[in-house]
Structure formats: C-alpha cells, structure tokens
C-alpha cells in the first residue's frame, strides 16, 4: 500500500503547475512512494559518529596571491583591434538613437 496517495501526488503536481492524467497520478504515486522509502533507508544508515559532509574527500581552494603585474597600455590593447574610436574599441551599432 502506498503511503503517498493519489491526492498527494495531484497536490504536488498542482504546486509545480504540472498537468497529470489520472493514470499518471496512479503510476507516480507508486514511484514517489518508492523514492521516499529509499530516502528513509539511506537516512537510517547514517551513523551519529560520522559527520555530515558535502564531499567524500576534503576540498580546498588552490588560489595564488594577488600580485600587481604590469599590463598593456591603451595603445597596445588597441593595436590589433579592427576598429578603434577615441581610444576605445569600436563596435557596430545595433540600436538606433531613437
């Protein structure tokens, strides 16, 4: 016997704005009930002496320190540009001024 009723599935479907046919409600009630049972099994297997974790291995960010380095001058940056206007990259106009 399914712990989730057809009405429960219909309610969840309406919250998600999903239209389900009557035969789909019956089929999904059984499938969702199985999913809930599997989640319960996994929850039962959790041990209190094992801390909850988001990843099975420790993860740390590998970041380099921020250091100021010399960059391009305006002329160097615009040297290979197909179009430069007033010291900036020129791009084709896509909007009218209206």
Q: What is the DSSP string of 51-80?
A: ---SSSS------PPP-------HHHHHTT
Q: What is the pLDDT of residues 83-92, one digit of tens each?
A: 999 999 998 8
Establish if 96 belongs to a structural domain.
Answer: no
CA distance 29 to 39: 15
Query: What would the mean pLDDT of 57-66 be, rounded to a whole number?
Result: 86
Give me the number of domains the chain comprises: 1
- pLDDT band, residue 1 (cuts 50/70/90): very low
For residue 7, the domain's CATH number is: 1.10.20.60
Is the entire prediction scored with pTM above 0.85? no
Residue 73 lies inside a defined structural domain of this protein: no
The answer to whether residue 6 is domain-embedded is yes
Which has the higher per-residue pLDDT, 36 or 51?
36
> Does the residue 72 lie in any domain?
no
What CA–CA distance (Å, rounded) separates 34 from 9? 13
CA-CA distances (angstroms) from residue 37 to 3, 14, 45? 9, 23, 13
Residue range of the domain that includes 22 = 1-43
């Amino acid at each position: 016997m399914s712990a989730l009723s057809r009405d429960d599935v219909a309610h969840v479907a309406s919250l998600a704005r999903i239209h389900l046919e009557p035969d789909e409600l019956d089929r999904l009630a059984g499938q969702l009930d199985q999913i809930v049972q599997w989640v319960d099994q996994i929850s039962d297997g959790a041990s209190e002496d094992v801390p909850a974790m988001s990843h099975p291995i420790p993860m740390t960010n590998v970041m380099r320190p921020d250091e100021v380095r010399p960059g391009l001058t305006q002329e160097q940056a615009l040297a290979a540009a197909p179009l430069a206007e007033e010291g900036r990259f020129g791009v084709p106009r896509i909007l009218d001024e209206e």
